[in-house]
Structure 1
Amino acid sequence: MISRRLHKILGLLLLLPLLAWGATGIVFYFKPGYGDAYEQLTPKFYPLKNVAPLIPENSAQWLKATRVQTQLGQHLLVNTADGVAHLNASTGAEFSQPTDAQLRAFINDAIAHNPARYGQVIEREGDVFTTNTGVVITLDWPRLQLRQRGPDTEFIDTLYRIHYLQWSGFKTFDRVFGLLGIALLFSLSLLGFWLYLQHRRRTQRPTR
């Protein structure tokens, strides 16, 4: 019967996507390793010491100011209508970026809480630092923020791309491929339901 053959063909076409959806769905449900992979890494802050009032002339334009202490000194992070300013809280001037050695020590201080994952910084390229465990840490100096990605982060992101049929890396093709997969899944379900109804009618047909 053509409908049964079509049902089998659709089932075979969807076998790999369905297996991928099922396997990755299990990972997304239990979320193993998510804590480390997507940790919101922050600089290590210390209690403020010798805090002196600082009221620069342009402070009337500030929307928000946050004062923090790191091993590099006291930072004043200011939000204005024009953006973010990173000031030295001791002088009120712009906090110039420290030396390479100081920045490496700053990053190592931030990741010291989990040496098994982060290890130590071994390489730097601009604002990107790489550790001996393969974790890449990006420094946003104007905002004094850190962002980290490791091999586990890349692996989980790959699972997401597999789950959502983003297999080629080309956005347009993957979108069409995903819609095709959904259309085939609906077709398979509807055809299976139609075959079930046909079988039910035959079995309930009165015998003579």
Structure 2
Amino acid sequence: MSTVSGTQSSQNTMSSLARSTSSTTTTKSEESRFLTLLTTQLRNQDPMNPMENAEITSQLAQMSTVDGIERLNKMFQTFLDAQGTSDSMQAAALVGHSVLVEGRKLALTSAGAVGGFEVDADADKVVLTIKDAAGVKVNEIAFDDVAAGSHNFVWDGSASDGARAADGVYTIEVAATKDGKAVKGRTLEFGTVSSIIRGPTGTDFQVGSLGIFKFDDIKQIL
């Protein structure tokens, strides 16, 4: 039967502890590098083509957690902070861009007027009615075979009598049909994102004088 002296046993124990400490340090170092890399990816991602949730989850799944739930919670808090920064960067990329949001106003200038509409289903015909401040019809614009979704248009200011309407603010109404039946739709208003507002419920967008909107309220980016 083989025996191990006390000195050899102590040396073996110290060697094992050293290997364990080295392994733990290496693991933590690898996790730190992984988290730094993921955070950098989130901050530098293309605002118009952000990472998918599945891709982020897949990367997190590759990381082994050795310090239990507390370390996992800290890691996710860091991740959430980075995600919040990423969301703000994506939102900031929209500042200065023209967008369409739900609204009825159509501002006519010497260059014309830009507006939009949205239909919930395909339509055979969509008719936009333009009215002045007094509610009098100025003109109509018709579209055939319109797909479901949001659409933009440009009005050159021409009135139904052939004259040019005066510059100013008009209103628009939309009527859409499919096989003679009404299709639900709404009008969209043109504006420019002037700033972003980050609050406890997420990031909001100030669209000029039109007001504050959520990202989901933006129907088109022009």
TM-score by length of 1: 0.25
TM-score by length of 2: 0.24
More strand by share: 2
More helix by share: 1
